[in-house]
Structure 1
Amino acid sequence: MDGYVLTNFFVYAIVNAFTPGPGNILALNTVTSYGWKKGKPLFFGIFIGYYVVQMICAFFVYGIGLFLPAVLQVMKYMGTAYILWLAIHIAISKPKIDENKKTASFIKGFLLQFVNIKIYMFGITTLTGFITPYSKALWVLIAFELLIATIGTIATSTWIGVGFLIQKFYIKYYRIINILLGLTLLECIWSMLRT
């Protein structure tokens, strides 16, 4: 793989990872609503789920490439339904200021990644567009998917950091912010359904 292709891989991976998606928006919403400490379980669920899904992508590309379009079509509609629910939930949610509230759940963040079609498409597109023309070895696919998941984790951490910094602003203007975040998720659904 030459430097030009590798550079394009990183540009695509960084742009894709930092754009709003279900994981990034849920992380931002959670840190502004719960704070860092109570949101940690959900954040770790998002991160671990991301790595697991990227490993699934590597094995899909490696082993069942012919069957993959049918699987992605089903996952696309499951993902859009969940993201629609998430958009509505975020748009109507209020900040949770009560210190006795329970923490955000690991399982919610973890399971989100399994219906987050954006990261499946991200992983599979990156492999088939940049990697498989040069190598189809399973260890190479896994290595690049681990790199993709690491870039995604850095991106989501950035969204968490921004959310932490704007927490007081968020509490004052939560309704407008939540509606904008919900609309952003609806745009994600729109772009998914157009393809």
Structure 2
Amino acid sequence: MSVAVLPFAAFALSQVGTPGPANMALMATGAAHGLRAALPFVLGVALGKQLVIWPVGFGLMELAGRAPWAFEVLKWVSAAYIVWLAWRVANLRLGEARGAQAPGFLAGLVVHPLNPKAWAMITGGFTAFTAPGTPALEATATIAAILLAAQLVLHPLWCWGGSLAAHRLRGRPAERWLMWTLAALTVASVLIVLFAGGAT
């Protein structure tokens, strides 16, 4: 096969499983609303990366090379969106959030397309793990399937982890600190993406 499947799978697991804007948003949403209510958001986040993978695989990066300003705009729009999600989380109390509307599928769907690190990681996957001359459909379908599998396993775990933490702290003084800490970690991960590079 023209895609190095096992090395790329290890790379995908390391990227999808480590802290970053998307995972912090998942954890914070799980803490605020619980895993069950957050599942549409989780599914949206997982499928949203496909909206990046397929255009990249079929040549969007060539277009981006001609208009680099578009990626600079994308970077700051993504940061603003994820900081906005963090602000919502910081100001929710867990008891209130259970009765509030959790972010839905569409809110999750735009997380990765607005995350410049996701674009960088996917581009790296194509350039580092795909042999030159590999048909675009073969390379894109392989990378898309591996990343989706990793996300469907690991994204719910991040959300569930947030829900477990919230279960122990709901209604206690530490609840406010949990929500602000999750929000602060989300913002910090965005800053890392913007200025130093980080995980998805």
TM over 0.5: yes
One-letter identity of the residue aligned with 2:191: W
Partner of 1:140: 138
CA offsets 1:25-50 (integer angstroms, 9 cap, x no match): 22222222212332222222222222
Q: How many residues matched?
A: 193
Q: Which amino acid aligns with 2:125?
A: T
Unaligned stretches of 5+ in structure 1? none
Q: TM-score, normalised by structure 1?
A: 0.81
Alignment of 1:123-134 (within 5 A): 123-131=122-130, 133-134=131-132
Shift of residue 121, structure 1, vs aligned partner: 1.7
What is the aligned partner in structure 2 of residue 165 from structure 1? 164
Q: 1:154 to 1:68 in 2, by over 3 A?
A: farther
Higher helix proportion (structure 1 or 2)? 1
1:145-193 per-position Cα deviation (integer Å, ceiling 9, x unaligned): 3312321332212212323333312423332222222222222222222
Change (3 A) 1:36 1:136: same
Give unmatched runs, 5+ long, in structure 2: none
Question: TM-score, normalised on structure 2?
Answer: 0.79
Which amino acid in 2 is paired with 1:77?
A: W
Within-5 A mapping of 1:25-36:
25-36=24-35
Identity among equivalent positions (%) equals 19
Question: Structure 1 pair 102/66, CA: closer, same or farther in 2 (3 Å)?
Answer: closer
**2:85 alignment partner in structure 1:** 86
- CA distance in 2 between counterparts of 1:98 and 1:77 reads 28
SS in 1 for 2:100: coil
Of 41-50 and 56-65, the range deviating more from structure 2:
56-65
